[in-house]
């Protein structure tokens, strides 16, 4: 038996001073691990495509000998009978080749705004990948930071990637939207880009407290411009901190989102990643924001995966307090009622769906449910004794659909629209 993972085999992470297999982080032996490194960068020397395959093989061999510290204890490592064949092919590409940023968010590390520039020619490196056909099967490119749009090579790299054999690769760009980007506008119009922007506040004062600069209205104005092109390609994120959980702040956030015509965007509720446990006051704030967005007919609302899983398995006391709070706010409809749903389709056959099936009272009370996933490699397999089916079954199926994914929520939502022609059967609510 061998140990390997999907990231090592076909993903790539471009950092300022190294090339990594992934950007996953986890605790093992009381130590933060992850960010599995493939290549150190020699100053001004651009790595070749062939270097990737060699580096992947070396990391794999070290894992088998328990010599790789980055990957030790990683939850993504899976046992396999078949020895992987390592190539330079890439299905997922992450680009964080600098740490230049025009904000100083309280929850962010200096890693992401420390002003580092790449030690090598990233444009040249991307050209190597494109010309060598390494991107032929690439599904998405994720841009992080630093602020991606501040780098002069941003648009150039976008164009280089789309010179590859598969020009319909889409990009997910994590941008603060402080500065209007012509490149983002251009690629939104071409249908090749999605953006994610954290606002984290309903007032300029709180925005400055959390994000370090007085740019609240600039962000809303720029998001309005982007959403006007295609709101389905825009995700607005609210990350809860100690500064922004009060109801008046949440109310103001929802009001401003309506004012700037963002209702048809995707809304992601998140949490300061530095907090391991969710305080009940934050838990209530998450519920309140979900409720306020739902009440105002915002259709596409989802939680980060770690928050969603936290809601799935509350203890008895927490469950009672959650229901009590929602009843006080006349917001109990935020929780999906299994008594009103006898039969269900769960879209997404991953960790979140597994937790829902194993731990929730909701599923125990549902008479029947089916599992659907867009990943063709999963279709036909079984998960918890349920056969995973193709989304094509939705065409002639009129049951309610629960989207059990976080990072791919917008993609799944769009796929449902394409198949069914509407989203009438998509459930907006939380499962406990």
Encode the chain (432 residues) as per-residue pLDDT tens digits.
999 998 999 999 998 889 999 877 777 877 778 788 999 888 778 888 889 999 999 999 999 999 998 998 888 888 888 899 898 899 999 999 998 999 998 888 777 777 888 888 999 999 999 888 898 888 889 999 889 999 889 999 998 888 755 557 889 999 999 999 999 999 999 999 999 999 999 999 999 999 999 999 999 999 999 999 999 999 999 999 999 999 999 999 999 999 999 999 999 999 876 655 778 899 899 999 999 999 999 989 999 887 887 777 777 888 889 999 999 999 999 999 998 898 999 999 988 999 899 988 888 888 799 999 998 889 999 999 999 999 999 999 999 999 999 888 988 999 999 999 999 999 999 888
Q: Judge whether 281 lies within some domain.
A: yes
The two tokens of residue 222 are 């720029």
Based on the domain organization, do 278 and 307 belong to the same domain? Answer: yes
Based on the domain organization, do 125 and 20 belong to the same domain? Answer: yes
Instruction: Specify whether the CB–CB gap between 24 and 92 falls below 8 A.
Output: no
| Residue 402, phi then psi, degrees to nearest 5 | -110, 125
Based on the domain organization, do 52 and 150 belong to the same domain? Answer: yes
Q: Judge whether 189 lies within some domain.
A: no
Based on the domain organization, do 29 and 59 belong to the same domain? Answer: yes
Based on the domain organization, do 346 and 324 belong to the same domain? Answer: no
Based on the domain organization, do 118 and 76 belong to the same domain? Answer: yes
Q: Judge whether 73 lies within some domain.
A: yes
Q: What is the pLDDT of residue 275?
A: 56
* pTM of the predicted protein model: 0.90
Q: Judge whether 344 lies within some domain.
A: yes
CA distances from 108 to 101, 143, 220, 374 (A): 11, 16, 21, 33
Exposed, middle or buried by CB within 10 Å (0-12, 13-18, 19+), for 74?
A: buried
Domain-ending residue, one of 276, 308, 333: 333
Based on the domain organization, do 365 and 329 belong to the same domain? Answer: no
Domain-ending residue, one of 174, 191, 223: 174
Exposed, middle or buried by CB within 10 Å (0-12, 13-18, 19+), for 2?
A: middle
Dihedral, CA of residue 68, residue 74, residue 79 and residue 83, to nearest 10: -40
Q: Judge whether 58 lies within some domain.
A: yes
Based on the domain organization, do 18 and 88 belong to the same domain? Answer: yes
Domain-ending residue, one of 333, 358, 389: 333
Instruction: Specify whether the CB–CB gap between 160 and 123 falls below 8 A.
Output: yes
Query: How many structural domains does the chain have?
Result: 3
Nearby residues of 327 by Cβ (< 8 Å), 6 or more positions away: none
CA distances from 376 to 142, 223, 373, 392, 407 (A): 22, 34, 8, 11, 18
> Residue 426's domain spans which residues?
336-432
Q: Judge whether 86 lies within some domain.
A: yes
Based on the domain organization, do 245 and 269 belong to the same domain? Answer: yes
How many angstroms separate the CA atoms of 234 and 211, rounded?
20
Q: Judge whether 232 lies within some domain.
A: yes
H/E segment holding residue 182? helix 182-189
Based on the domain organization, do 88 and 223 belong to the same domain? Answer: no
How many angstroms separate the CA atoms of 339 and 367, rounded?
10
How many angstroms separate the CA atoms of 226 and 222, rounded?
6
Instruction: Specify whether the CB–CB gap between 169 and 162 falls below 8 A.
Output: yes
CATH number of the domain residue 377 falls in:
3.40.50.720
Based on the domain organization, do 410 and 390 belong to the same domain? Answer: yes
Q: What is the pLDDT of residue 217?
A: 97
Q: Judge whether 155 lies within some domain.
A: yes
Based on the domain organization, do 132 and 93 belong to the same domain? Answer: yes
- Write down how long the chain is: 432
Q: What is the pLDDT of residue 29?
A: 78
Q: What is the pLDDT of residue 309?
A: 79
Q: What is the pLDDT of residue 23?
A: 78
Q: What is the pLDDT of residue 211?
A: 93
């Amino acid at each position: 038996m061998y140990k390997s993972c999907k990231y090592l085999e076909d993903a790539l992470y471009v950092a300022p001073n190294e090339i990594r297999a992934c950007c996953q982080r986890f605790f093992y032996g009381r130590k933060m691990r992850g960010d599995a490194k493939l290549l150190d960068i020699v100053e001004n020397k651009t790595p070749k495509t062939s270097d990737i395959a060699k580096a992947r093989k070396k990391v794999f061999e070290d894992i088998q000998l328990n010599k790789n510290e980055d990957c030790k204890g990683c939850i993504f490592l899976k046992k396999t009978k078949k020895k992987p064949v390592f190539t330079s092919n890439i299905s997922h590409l992450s680009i964080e080749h600098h740490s230049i940023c025009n904000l100083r968010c309280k929850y962010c590390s200096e890693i992401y705004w420390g002003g580092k520039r790449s030690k090598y020619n990233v444009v040249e490196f991307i050209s190597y990948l494109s010309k060598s056909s390494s991107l032929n099967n690439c599904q998405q490119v994720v841009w992080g930071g630093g602020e991606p749009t501040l780098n002069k090579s941003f648009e150039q790299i976008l164009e280089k990637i789309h010179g590859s054999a598969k020009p319909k690769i889409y990009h997910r760009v994590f941008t603060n939207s402080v500065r209007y980007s012509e490149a983002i506008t251009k690629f939104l119009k071409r249908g090749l880009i999605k953006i994610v922007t954290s606002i984290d506040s309903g007032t300029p004062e709180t925005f400055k407290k959390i994000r370090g600069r007085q740019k609240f209205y600039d962000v809303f104005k720029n998001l309005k411009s982007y959403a006007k092109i295609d709101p389905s390609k825009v995700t607005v994120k609210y990350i809860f901190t100690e500064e922004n959980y009060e109801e008046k702040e949440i109310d103001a956030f929802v009001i401003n989102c309506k004012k700037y015509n963002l209702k048809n965007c995707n809304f992601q509720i998140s949490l300061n990643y530095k907090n391991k446990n969710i305080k009940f006051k934050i838990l209530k704030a998450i519920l309140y924001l979900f409720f306020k967005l739902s009440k105002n007919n915002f259709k596409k609302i989802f939680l980060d995966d770690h928050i969603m899983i936290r809601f799935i398995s509350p203890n008895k006391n927490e469950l009672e307090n959650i229901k009590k709070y929602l009843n006080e706010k006349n917001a109990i409809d935020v929780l999906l009622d299994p008594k009103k749903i006898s039969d269900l389709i769960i879209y997404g056959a991953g960790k979140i769906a597994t937790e829902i099936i194993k731990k929730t009272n909701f599923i125990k009370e549902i008479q029947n449910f089916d599992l659907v996933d867009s990943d063709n490699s999963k279709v036909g397999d079984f998960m918890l004794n349920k056969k995973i089916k193709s989304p094509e079954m939705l065409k002639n199926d009129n049951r309610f659909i629960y989207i059990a994914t976080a990072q791919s929520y917008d993609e799944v939502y769009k796929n449902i629209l394409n198949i069914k022609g509407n989203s009438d059967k998509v459930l907006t609510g939380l499962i406990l």
